Amino acid sequence: MIDQNELRIEMVQLLDENGNGEEETLQSFSDDLLLTLYQWMRKARVIDERLLKMQRQGRIGTYAPFSGQEAAQIGSVLALDKEDWLFPSYREIAACLAHGMPLTQIFHYVRGHVLGGKTPDGLNIFPIQIIIGAQTLHATGCAWATKLKGERHVSVCYFGDGATSEGDFHEALNFAAVYQVPVIFFCQNNHYAISVPIQKQTASRTIAQKALAYGMKGVLVDGNDVLAVYKTTKEAVQMAREGKGPVLIEALTYRLGPHTTSDDPTKYRSEEEVERWKRTKDPLHRLRKLLEKRNIWTDAQEEAWVAQVNDEVTKAYEEAASVEAPSLADIFRYVYDEPSPLLYEQQQEVIRRNRVKEGK
């Protein structure tokens, strides 16, 4: 009889909470790479805080903040090639940005513009998924296509701990392993699916171990250690690219903010718990400590960087806000390649109403 308690699952961690780690391992990360990782994480944090504020000001719609999960998202995305495919859920704004999504496009999304879900051409990012776990199957199918075409791209699918309870998660991992397709399932286990804690989501000790049941590789990584996430994802991507099949990565992390701007997390988790994660496990702090030890980042640089990002956010917002307001008539263009006669009639009705509204 197999017992999960006999499984030995170790969490990959390269950088501890104080910015320490094995010297040789840390040396394998160049100054440039460390700076890129840090700057992206800092940038993501600033953007997240600004978006949260803008939501409170009524300038954007409902928003799902990701603060606390920067290492998981930035570390994994920067381990990819630009042509690789991303399948994000609504909490992966940082991953989308770091993969090349323009910030103005994010603003179109959170401001509810008709073109908000339109990834710019040349960028392989699927529209942000709302249905929990539905994108796991799309990622598997996309990676399957890649394999059939003989291309070398991988598909990376993001989801949370809650998604692992969905049937689609099971079907996606099963298909992916049966067909040995180059897909990485990247689970950000942030301990809560809105209010439901991981202990009520699954009786598995880890999510990573679920991989075994599908005959694929699984790995548990400290999701707040950007170096561990980067290295683990690189290795998984390498394997997938070489045709060695899919990998399930569980990144253990924590959402410091609410589920969305409509959520009150004090109802389901203690202030102490949040403080503990903030104080001791913030993914930015520990990398910052390493940068300081290497003398490659100063307070002045940090200040300048934050100011620069703030500027970028303001500019992107203004650019997005200056784009012409969408018209309801536009949405009819995206239902089918060609609208049916009856749908066309409905569009014409909307156009006529718009003319009346505009006094034309």
Partner 1 sequence: MAEMTMIQAIHDAMRQEMERDERVIVLGEDVGKNGGVFRATDGLFEQFGEARVFDTPLAESGIIGTSIGLAANGFRPIAEIQFLGFVYQAMDQLAAQAARLRFRSAGRFTCPLVVRSPYGGGVRTPELHSDALEGLFAHSPGLKIVMPSNAYDAKGLFISAIRDEDPVLFLEPMKLYRAFRMEVPEEPYEIPLGKARVVKEGEDVTIISWGASVPLAAKIAEEMKGKVDIEVIDLRSLQPLDWDTIYSSVSKTGRVMIVHEAVKTNGFGAEIAALIGERALFSLSAPIVRITGYDTPYPVPSVEDDWLPNAARMIEGVQMLMRY
- Enumerate binding residues for partner 1 (CB under 8 A): 85, 114-119, 121, 126-127, 131, 134, 136-146, 148-149, 155, 167-168, 171-172, 174-175, 178-179, 331, 333-337, 340-343
Q: Is 74 helix (H, G, I), strand (E, B) or coil?
A: helix
Nearest distance, CB of residue 339 and partner 1, angstroms: 9
> Of the two residues 126 and 254, which places its CB atom closer to partner 1 in the complex?
126
Q: Indicate which residue of 205, 268, 333, 353 is catalytic.
A: 268
Q: Is the dihedral of CA 25, 240, 169, 146 positive or negative?
A: positive
CA pair distance 192, 180, nearest whole angstrom: 30
Q: Indicate which residue of 45, 259, 286, 317 is catalytic.
A: 259
To the query of whether residue 352 is one of the catalytic residues in this protein, the response is no
To the query of whether residue 108 is one of the catalytic residues in this protein, the response is no
CB 42 within 8 A of CB 305: yes
Element (H, E) at 251: strand 247-252
> Of the two residues 118 and 352, which places its CB atom closer to partner 1 in the complex?
118
> Of the two residues 159 and 175, which places its CB atom closer to partner 1 in the complex?
175
To the query of whether residue 230 is one of the catalytic residues in this protein, the response is no
> Of the two residues 177 and 309, which places its CB atom closer to partner 1 in the complex?
177
Nearest distance, CB of residue 129 and partner 1, angstroms: 9
Nearest distance, CB of residue 45 and partner 1, angstroms: 28
> Of the two residues 169 and 254, which places its CB atom closer to partner 1 in the complex?
169
> Of the two residues 88 and 223, which places its CB atom closer to partner 1 in the complex?
88
Nearest distance, CB of residue 273 and partner 1, angstroms: 33
CA pair distance 183, 245, nearest whole angstrom: 7
CA pair distance 223, 250, nearest whole angstrom: 8
Helix orientation angle between 226-241 and 70-77, rounded to the nearest 10 degrees: 40
CB 98 within 8 A of CB 77: yes
Nearest distance, CB of residue 103 and partner 1, angstroms: 18
Indicate the Cα dihedral angle 140, 113, 256, 304, nearest 10°.
Answer: 110
Q: Indicate which residue of 99, 138, 255, 286 is catalytic.
A: 255
343: Cβ contacts below 8 Å, ≥ 6 apart: 332, 335, 336
254: Cβ contacts below 8 Å, ≥ 6 apart: 68, 69, 190, 191, 224, 277, 281
Nearest distance, CB of residue 155 and partner 1, angstroms: 8
CB 113 within 8 A of CB 87: no
**Beta-bridge mates of residue 249:** 186, 219
**Which residues form the catalytic set?**
255, 259, 268
